[in-house]
Amino acid sequence: MTPLRAGILAAVVTVILDQASKLWLLNGFDLARRGVVKVTPFFDLVLAWNIGISFGWLQNDGQAAQIALMAVKAVAVVALAIWMARSHTLLATIALGLIIGGAIGNGIDRLAYGAVVDFALFHIDIGGNTYNWYVFNLADVAIVAGVAGLLYDSFLGVPAAKAP
């Protein structure tokens, strides 16, 4: 399999898994009705609608803001796709595919619901205080894994991946 095919496969699998998990949690499991579902002492399923960008920054549910976010996301996906098509290392190409798939998955949410569906919450209790991580989804996991893969490939891979 060529690196480009592997990257495209990574993007497609990411979109499918992300959307399937969200559809099941929203419609099959009915997470909205169930509220907080404790899975482990440190992990809960919760429903959060993120109208902003990463980590809930730039929260704005206005139509102009949503269109602007979608436009930025579309330009980013095109730029990443060009980079992926030019990439020669398997790791960098798969990493770019993960980022593209995650961006598309969250973009589908924004088009379908006007917000990104987040549901995973890690937390820890220390000395009676609860510390929560940001609520996230599988698309976010793919984006973070893709960025980590690009960083690894850039610093330690031979030849290093270079952005166009």
Instruction: Give catalytic residues, as residue numbers.
Output: 118, 140
Name the amino acid, one letter, at 8.
I
The Cβ of residue 87 has, within 10 Å, a number of other Cβ atoms equal to 24
Count of Cβ atoms closer than 10 Å to residue 137 Cβ: 24
* Residue 16, both tokens: 């499918």
Q: At what angle do helices 63-86 and 90-113 cross, to 10 degrees?
A: 160
Half-sphere exposure of 40 (CA within 13 A, CB side): 7
Handedness of CA 10, 11, 14, 15 (dihedral sign): negative
* C-alpha of 62 from chain center: 22
User: What is the crossing angle of helices 90-113 and 3-23, to 10°?
Assistant: 30
